[in-house]
Amino acid sequence: MEKGHYVVDQIEGEIAVLETPEQERLELPRDELPDDAEEGSMLVRHEDETGNVSFTVDHEAGAKRRGEMEALRASLPKAPEGDL
């Protein structure tokens, strides 16, 4: 994961669970995330001079991460076919 990115791990109802850059879990109300955030989205955290925090989706980093995950998945051995 790129330094400074938060990853949307899961969204359940009105709660979003993020993985922080420090590999910790952070639960937030879903409405504190951008409308286009979904599970797997990579977010950038912003804090203004008054301490208000907001997030934006980093679409480029998300696409790169998805490509890396697909390449890793493709490199894994395939399960045998037929009855086990």
Q: What is the pLDDT of residue 3?
A: 52
pLDDT in tens, 36-68: 999 999 999 999 999 999 999 999 988 888 888
Q: Write out 4-55 in H/E/C secondary structure.
A: CEEEEEEEECCEEEEECCCCCEEEEEHHHCCCCCCCCCEEEEEECCCCCEEE
